[in-house]
């Protein structure tokens, strides 16, 4: 709650005259300041994986189920019904407070690096980390592999160049990258889960269904993760 001292209002360490409360730049600065505080409030969540989908997980902790957006990389390392610790990044918008979760700190660090690049939002960053493993992404940036980055749906040449230019001096190969564990599933379940995941990421249902039919015919024994990655190449 704001505190008033005379004709001044204090929010955190910010003090300003309330007579200027209608100043747009000041209001935006205060909102940004408060949002940054909220974003860095949560480090991780530890609890039961109550629901698991390639696009999200529901983590139950303290009797509350938390909806956490995840990438395919994290999905492949999670198992429904098990206790897990998931590292969090919170995104605060006017219409929603969103959690993005990661099994490793390395993936979260890469996510945060990606969203620092102009033109790369949280969902785009998640899509990149669903198409490339942390190791593949790191190698692509350090080797300035534009082709690898442009292969990700929605990433054009300019965005790929910005990612490389902005991040090549910020990331390194330190730390072990956890290998992805692929869980088998029936063909119908795979197509259903893949459809849900890709439509959640914003792709049109009709287009996704057409692509999934093609992919599952070409790769009938492919895992869910592989099906989604192959489908992203066509969408």
What is the crossing angle of helices 157-167 and 105-115, to 10°?
120
- The answer to whether residue 180 is domain-embedded is no
pLDDT for the residue numbered 188? 64
Window from 12-21, 207-216, 218-227 with minimum mean pLDDT: 12-21
Domain count of the fold of the chain: 4
Q: Work out the number of other CB atoms within 10 angstroms of the CB of residue 39.
A: 15
- The answer to whether residue 182 is domain-embedded is no
Q: What is the pLDDT of residues 24-47, one digit of tens each?
A: 554 455 445 544 444 447 899 999
Do 72 and 123 lie in a common domain? no
The angle subtended at Cα 161 by Cα 158 and Cα 166, nearest 5°, is: 125
- The parent domain of residue 60 ranges over 44-102
- The answer to whether residue 211 is domain-embedded is yes
pLDDT for the residue numbered 46? 95
Q: Work out the number of other CB atoms within 10 angstroms of the CB of residue 48.
A: 15
Q: What is the mean pLDDT of the chain?
A: 80
Do 59 and 79 lie in a common domain? yes
- The answer to whether residue 174 is domain-embedded is no
Q: What is the pLDDT of residues 45-82, one digit of tens each?
A: 999 999 999 999 999 999 999 999 999 999 999 999 99
Give the mean model confidence (pLDDT) for residues 167-172. 82
Do 54 and 85 lie in a common domain? yes
CATH of the domain at 55: 2.40.50.140
pTM here is 0.62
pLDDT for the residue numbered 108? 93
Cβ–Cβ < 8 Å for 80, 51: yes
pLDDT for the residue numbered 173? 53
CATH of the domain at 140: 1.10.150.20
pLDDT for the residue numbered 185? 34
Give the mean model confidence (pLDDT) for residues 12-17. 42
**Contacts of 205-212 spanning 24+ positions with Cβ under 8 A:** 207/235, 208/235, 211/235
């Amino acid at each position: 709650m704001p505190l008033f001292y005379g004709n001044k209002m204090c929010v955190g360490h910010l003090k300003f005259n309330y007579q200027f409360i209608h100043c747009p730049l000041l209001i935006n600065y205060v909102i940004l300041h408060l949002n940054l505080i909220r974003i860095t409030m949560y480090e991780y969540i530890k609890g039961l994986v109550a629901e698991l989908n390639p696009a999200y997980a529901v983590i139950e902790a303290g009797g509350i189920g938390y909806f956490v957006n995840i990438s395919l990389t994290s999905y492949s390392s999670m198992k429904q019904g098990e206790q897990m610790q998931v590292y969090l990044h919170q995104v605060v918008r006017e219409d929603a407070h969103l959690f993005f979760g990661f099994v490793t700190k390395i993936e979260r660090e890469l996510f945060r690096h990606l969203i620092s690049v102009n033109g790369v939002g949280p969902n785009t960053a998640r899509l990149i980390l669903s198409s490339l493993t942390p190791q593949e992404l790191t190698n692509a940036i350090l080797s300035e592999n534009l082709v690898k980055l442009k292969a990700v749906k929605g990433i054009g040449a300019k965005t790929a160049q910005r990612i490389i230019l902005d991040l090549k001096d910020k990331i390194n190969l330190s730390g072990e990258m956890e290998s992805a564990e692929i869980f088998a599933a029936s063909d119908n379940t795979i197509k259903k889960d893949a459809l849900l995941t890709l439509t959640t990421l914003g792709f049109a249902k009709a287009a996704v269904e057409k692509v999934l039919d093609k992919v599952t015919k070409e790769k009938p024994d492919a895992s869910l993760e592989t099906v989604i990655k192959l489908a992203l190449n066509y969408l």
